[in-house]
């Protein structure tokens, strides 16, 4: 692209405003030229020397024409070239990584998920409006391709094949566009000439069906305007195509081509139109390093015009491709451009590399924006650039203006509800076991997850028959209950983004089940014929029981599954054969259940005598069972009264009659004081009994004192 090339002896003459047809004819005659075509969009003509012409006289001829007072400027008809390179041809719709990149391998390179144009969810809003027309100024397009035929523009002002210029635009039977290379109505000639344009067309608007591929905006129309073949085309034909596109009502023009020569005529044609031009940043040949087109311009991408969007190419890993040009001041955004799978002539599909492929992705997004009713070109461009700012790639930092890749969802300003997928449940299906819900959260707007809501359900079958929500089960974990036995369980998720905007729809996992009874099926603690654990639940592991004081023994029985082993541990409990006798200091039974493949489960039964902590009258008088005097009396009861039959009978009698009296004492402050005074000698006596060494000392001291007093009396006598 670095060497200037032009069509031989072919020039574009731009006339000054106000020059009449006669004035233009005078220029043609005076400089021995012949008019080849009018370029009305810029008030210019394509001309060539009349008669024989020698190449070495071109510069002098151009200088001569430029001096004519009717001429604004004259320039060679520069060559322009396609920016795509064919590669291997496979057929696999999953290779449309530019639309949906989930990390699939493309041409041997494993992609990075979500390095794509973020189209997911956009089609819920629009797939494109057929009133929006995208002109593809390129090679020809195979308009009979089954993935393209639906979207080809039809000239409603032309009657097909009648040999008449029905719409008076100077072109006969231009039903679907025009071929400016051959100057005829056929916009497709051959696969060798028209593969490039056909490929670009598929990226923009291939049908959204089960066939082949799908374009970014399958609902819009495309206008085929052929101005070049595989070898390139002329600037003058490009200008003629631009003029045709403007007359046809095109909103967006896809320009997957360029050249190193700056054409004022092309710049005028683009800048003077009311269309958005999406242009390729250009490629370098294999083995060359990409160029900064701020320093090595490529046109039209390098034109400083408000209605141009220049596009670089990235691969499926988010890297600026090895062939893509760049330029911080000249290139606006990037798009997928390596290993791009799209339509090829003759009902085929294939891959191309190039900024030519990146360009139609952006044209497609621009068409989607226009389809939402945005008519302001400046706003469409700004939306596209802003979307790339929100979708940065490190490889593009300081390489292009936005530093990012076009993001369709962001450009259209769509905030989609988040979704969840891959819901699953892990854990053992027994009462008491904890099930863990798992899922993958996804938000197309890249909003992090907020307060997603969870629900657990119980059903009669794996098909979720008679699905009922479980009250209070609102966490990602769920502990299986006895009532779940024989049922199937599933969990539901309502995903919600941290933005707090519209939550997603409820998603249900597959049901798991049925829930089995569990390793420990039954557990009984018998007081004679009474079952103290009649409310045993396999999922409940801790039990507290109040035992009647008259009870002297307990029987423990259990039933486990065949593969389970059960071990029983007693803390301070006296065991004799199958009986468990209560010890005054003991209160715990531990049952360990071990089952292969299931976490060990330990059941704990804590036993309390109904009266074990109650000295009713003393507690009422002193106000708390933790008062030292009450603790002292309780210790005397446990150590001296409950250890023999007479003492136990006395305690049982006391506990039978004392509670009402204690309640009466507790309600009378004065009576409490009197009872404290009355209990004082009892407490002292109990203290001495519990501390017998002190009693012995007192007795000894009393004896010594008595002995001393006896001696004193004898001496006095």
**How confident is the model over 67-82, as pLDDT tens digits?**
999 999 999 988 888 8
Residue at 513 is within a domain: no
Give every CB contact of residue 387 below 8 A, 6+ residues apart in sequence: 365, 404, 406, 407, 408, 409, 410, 411
Q: How many CB atoms lie within 10 A of CB 612?
A: 17
Is 710 a domain residue?
A: no
State the Cα–Cα distance between residues 532 and 513, nearest whole angstrom: 31
640 catalytic residue (yes or no)? no
Q: Is the pLDDT of residue 204 over 90?
A: yes
287 in any annotated domain: yes
Residue 240 burial class via C-beta count within 10 angstroms: exposed 0-12, middle 13-18, buried 19 and up: buried
Average pLDDT in the 459-484 region? 93
| 12-26, 254-268, 408-422, 457-471: least confidently modelled range | 408-422
Q: What is the pLDDT of residue 648?
A: 66
Alpha helices in 390-511 (DSSP H): 408-411
> Looking at the domain assignment, is residue 713 inside a domain?
no
Of 151, 356, 509, 658, the active-site residue reads 356
Condensed to tens digits (0 to 9), the pLDDT of residues 48-72 reads: 888 665 544 677 888 999 999 999 9
Q: What tens digit of pLDDT does each residue of 336-347 get?
A: 999 999 999 999
* pLDDT, average across residues 366-376: 96
Q: How many Cα neighbours within 13 Å face the side chain of 420?
A: 24
Query: What is the extent of the structural domain holding 424?
Result: 419-508
Q: In angstroms, what CA-CA distances link 11 with 3, 15, 241, 480?
A: 18, 13, 17, 85
What per-residue confidence (pLDDT) applies to 7? 60
Q: Are 334 and 187 within one domain?
A: yes
Q: Is 182 in the active site?
A: no
Together in a domain, 385 and 303: yes
Q: Are 404 and 333 in contact (CB under 8 A)?
A: yes
Close Cβ partners of 208 (under 8 Å, ≥ 6 residues apart): 123, 127, 214, 215, 218, 219
| In a shared domain, residues 99 and 232 | yes
Q: Which is catalytic among the residues 196, 234, 273, 330?
A: 196
- Find the Cα–Cα–Cα–Cα dihedral 44, 48, 50, 55, rounded to 10°: 140
Q: Which two tokens stand for residue 230?
A: 């595989």
Of residues 239 and 531, which shows the higher confidence score? 239
Model confidence band, residue 545 (pLDDT cutoffs 50, 70, 90): confident
* Structure-token pair, residue 658: 């004392």
Per-residue pLDDT for 376 more than 90?
yes
Residue 582 has pLDDT above 70, yes or no: no
Number of domains making up the chain:
5
Residue 706 located in a structural domain: no
Burial pattern 150-187, b for ≥16 Cβ within 10 A else e, equals ebbbebeebeeeeeeebeebebebbbbbbbbbeeebbb
Question: Is the pLDDT confidence value at 577 over 60?
Answer: no
Per-residue pLDDT, averaged over 471-480, amounts to: 93
pLDDT of amino acid 502: 73
Same domain, 302 and 395: yes
Quick one: how far is CA 290 from the chain centroid? 34
**pLDDT for residue 593:** 86
This prediction has a pTM of 0.63
Q: How far apart are CA 174 and CA 178, in angstroms?
A: 6
Q: Of the ranges 121-125, 283-287, 360-364, 686-690, which one carries the lowest mean pLDDT score? A: 686-690
pLDDT value of residue 1? 46
Where do runs of H (alpha helix) occur along 311-420? Answer: 355-371, 377-389, 408-411
Residue-wise pLDDT for 130-164, tens only, equals 999 999 999 999 999 999 999 999 999 999 999 99
The answer to whether residues 84 and 256 touch, using CB atoms and an 8 Å cutoff, is yes
Give, rounded to a whole angstrom, the gap between the first and last alpha carbons of the chain.
Answer: 147
Instruction: Choose one of 559, 579, 609: the last residue of a domain.
Output: 609
Could you tell me the pLDDT band of residue 2, with boundaries at 50, 70 and 90?
Answer: very low
- Domain of 603, CATH number, reads 2.60.40
Residues 284 and 355 in one domain: yes
Q: Out of 68, 138, 179, 587, which one is annotated catalytic?
A: 138
Q: Are residues 261 and 128 in the same domain?
A: yes
| Sign of torsion over alpha carbons 64, 66, 69, 71 | positive
Residue 176 domain-assigned (yes or no): yes
Which pLDDT belongs to residue 89?
Answer: 42
pLDDT tens string 549-558: 555 567 788 8
Residue 256 sits in a domain of what CATH number? 3.40.50.200
Phi/psi at 617 (nearest 5 deg)?
Answer: -65, -45
Alpha helices in 352-489 (DSSP H): 355-371, 377-389, 408-411
Q: How far apart are alpha carbons 215 and 208 in whole angstroms? A: 7
Across the chain, what does the average pLDDT equal? Answer: 86
Q: Are residues 540 and 490 in the same domain?
A: no
Answer with the one of 78, 95, 128 that is the final residue of a domain. Answer: 78
CA gyration radius, the chain: 47
In order, the DSSP letters of 70-120 are TEEEEEEEEEEEE--EE------GGG-TTT--SS-EETTEE--TT-S---T
User: Same domain, yes or no, for 105 and 199?
Assistant: yes
138 catalytic per annotation? yes
Domain finish residue from 377, 411, 445: 411
**Which comes out higher in pLDDT, residue 649 or 523?**
523
Whether 74 and 105 share a structural domain: no
Q: Secondary structure of 325-341 in the HEC alphabet?
A: CECCCCCCEEEECCCEE
Comparing 260-274, 431-445, 515-529, 603-617, which segment has the lowest mean pLDDT? Answer: 603-617
| Greater pLDDT, 283 or 95 | 283
- CATH number of the structural domain spanning residue 427: 2.60.40.2700
Percent of the chain residues topping a pLDDT of 90: 56
Task: Please tell me whether residues 478 and 594 are part of one structural domain.
Answer: no
* Beta-bridge partners for 424: 438
Given a cut of 90, whether residue 414 has pLDDT beyond it is no
pLDDT confidence band for 530 (50 / 70 / 90): confident
Residues 547 and 586 in one domain: yes
Quick check: is 678 in a domain?
A: yes
Note whether residue 568 is domain-resident.
Answer: yes
Helix (H, G, I), strand (E, B) or coil at 694: helix
Predicted confidence (pLDDT) at residue 175 exceeds the cutoff of 60: yes
Does 308 share its domain with 229? yes
């Amino acid at each position: 692209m670095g060497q200037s090339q032009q069509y031989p002896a072919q020039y574009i003459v731009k006339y000054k405003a106000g020059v009449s047809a006669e004035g233009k004819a005078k220029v043609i005659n005076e400089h021995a030229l012949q008019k080849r075509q009018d370029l009305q969009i810029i008030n210019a003509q394509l001309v060539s020397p009349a008669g024989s012409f020698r190449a070495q006289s071109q510069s002098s001829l151009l200088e001569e024409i430029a001096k004519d007072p009717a001429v604004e400027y004259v320039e060679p008809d520069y060559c322009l070239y396609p920016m795509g390179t064919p590669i291997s041809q496979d057929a696999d719709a999953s290779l449309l990584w530019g639309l949906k990149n989930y990390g699939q391998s493309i041409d041997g390179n494993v992609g990075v998920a979500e390095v794509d144009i973020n189209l997911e969810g956009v089609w819920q809003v629009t797939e494109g409006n057929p009133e929006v027309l995208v002109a593809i100024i390129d090679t020809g397009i195979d308009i009979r391709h089954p993935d393209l035929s639906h979207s080809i523009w039809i000239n409603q002002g032309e009657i097909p094949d009648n040999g008449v210029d029905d719409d008076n635009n100077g072109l006969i039977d231009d039903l679907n566009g025009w071929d400016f290379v051959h100057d005829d109505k056929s916009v497709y000639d051959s696969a060798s000439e028209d593969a490039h344009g056909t490929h670009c067309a598929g990226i923009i608007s291939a049908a959204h069906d089960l066939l082949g591929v799908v374009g970014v905006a399958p609902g819009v129309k495309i206008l085929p305007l052929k101005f070049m073949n595989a070898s390139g085309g002329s600037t003058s034909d490009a200008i003629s195509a631009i003029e045709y596109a403007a007359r046809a009502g095109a909103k967006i023009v896809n320009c997957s081509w360029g050249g190193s020569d700056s054409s004022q005529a092309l710049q005028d044609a683009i800048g003077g139109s009311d269309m958005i031009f999406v242009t390729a940043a250009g490629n370098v040949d294999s083995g060359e390093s990409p160029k900064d087109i701020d320093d090595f311009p490529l046109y039209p991408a390098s034109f400083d015009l408000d209605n141009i969007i220049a596009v670089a190419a990235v691969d499926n890993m988010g890297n600026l491709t090895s062939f893509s040009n760049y330029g911080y001041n000249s290139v606006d955004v990037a798009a997928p451009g390596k290993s791009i799978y799209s339509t090829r002539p003759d009902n085929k599909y294939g891959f191309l590399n190039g900024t030519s492929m990146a360009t139609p992705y952006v044209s497609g997004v621009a068409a989607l924006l226009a389809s939402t009713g945005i008519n302001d070109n400046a706003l469409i461009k700004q939306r596209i650039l802003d979307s790339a700012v929100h979708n940065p790639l490190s490889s593009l930092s300081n390489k292009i203006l936005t530093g990012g890749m076009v993001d369709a969802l962001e450009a259209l300003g769509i905030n989609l509800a988040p979704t969840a997928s891959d819901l699953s449940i892990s854990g053992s299906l027994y009462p008491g076991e904890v099930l863990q819900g798992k899922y993958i959260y996804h938000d197309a707007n890249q909003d992090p997850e907020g307060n997603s809501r969870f629900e657990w359900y119980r059903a009669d079958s794996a098909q979720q028959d008679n699905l009922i929500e479980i009250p209070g089960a609102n966490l990602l974990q769920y502990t299986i209950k006895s009532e779940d036995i024989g049922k199937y369980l599933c969990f539901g998720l309502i995903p919600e983004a941290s933005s707090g905007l519209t939550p997603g729809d409820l998603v249900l996992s597959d049901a798991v089940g049925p829930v089995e009874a569990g390793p420990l099926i039954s557990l009984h603690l018998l007081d004679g014929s009474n079952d103290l654990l009649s409310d045993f639940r396999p999922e409940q592991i801790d039990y507290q029981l109040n035992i009647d004081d008259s009870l002297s023994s307990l029987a423990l029985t259990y039933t486990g599954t065949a593969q389970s082993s059960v071990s029983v541990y007693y803390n301070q409990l006296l065991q004799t054969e199958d009986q468990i006798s209560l010890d005054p200091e003991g209160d715990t039974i531990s049952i360990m259940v071990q089952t292969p493949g299931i976490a060990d489960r330990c059941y704990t039964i804590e036993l309390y005598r109904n009266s074990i902590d109650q000295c009713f009258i003393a507690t009422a008088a002193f106000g708390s069972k933790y008062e030292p005097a009450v603790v002292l009396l309780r210790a005397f009861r446990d150590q001296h009264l409950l250890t023999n039959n007479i003492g136990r009978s006395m305690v049982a009698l006391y506990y039978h009659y004392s509670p009402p009296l204690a309640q009466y004492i507790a309600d009378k402050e004065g009576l409490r004081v009197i009872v404290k005074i009355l209990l004082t000698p009892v407490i002292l006596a109990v203290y001495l009994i519990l501390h017998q060494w002190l009693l012995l000392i007192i007795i000894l001291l009393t004896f010594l004192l008595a002995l001393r007093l006896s001696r004193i009396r004898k001496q006095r006598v």
